[in-house]
Amino acid sequence: MPEADTTGLSILLDQNVPKAMAVWLRQHRPGWYVVHTSDVGLQGKSDADIFLWAQDQGYIIITFDEDFADQRSFPVGQHHGIIRLRIWPTTVEETQRALGRLLGEVEDEDLRGTLVIIDRQRIRIRTSRPRVE
């Protein structure tokens, strides 16, 4: 089973994210360790199974699934990170555009332990860390 990368980020693409995004992310962030659910035997598994695997292995989840943004089930600060894509259509091109904005605007460290929601207009980051003023 792939262990989380201790230098860069370890990313798990949910089953609803095009598998081609793994290759694209590896090219654009070679320091990240990126796998798709189908690469690690999680295809067809429940959100709970995917979440538990990601937490056990130290992975940040990238998903289109709005359930992962529910803080009652997945509280910020109690996971390694969730990136929720709120874009339509869910094509490879739109996914690349959204994640390209993320890569250009957000530091890697700001993805750890946070909930990031990416839509067409903005990127919101919810964190349990206190704000520095």
Report residue 130's pLDDT band, with 50, 70 and 90 as the boundaries.
Answer: low
Cα–Cα nearest to 12, from 35, 42, 43: 35
Report residue 104's pLDDT band, with 50, 70 and 90 as the boundaries.
Answer: very high
Give residue-wise pLDDT tens across range 5-46. Answer: 456 899 999 999 999 999 999 999 999 999 999 999 999 999
**Could you give the percent of the chain with pLDDT greater than 70?**
91
pTM of the model: 0.91
Q: How many Å separate Cα 130 from the centre of its chain?
A: 22
Q: What is the mean pLDDT of residues 53-66?
A: 97
CA-CA distance, 7 to 66, in Å (whole number)?
Answer: 29
Give the start-to-end residue ranges of the domains of the chain. 10-126
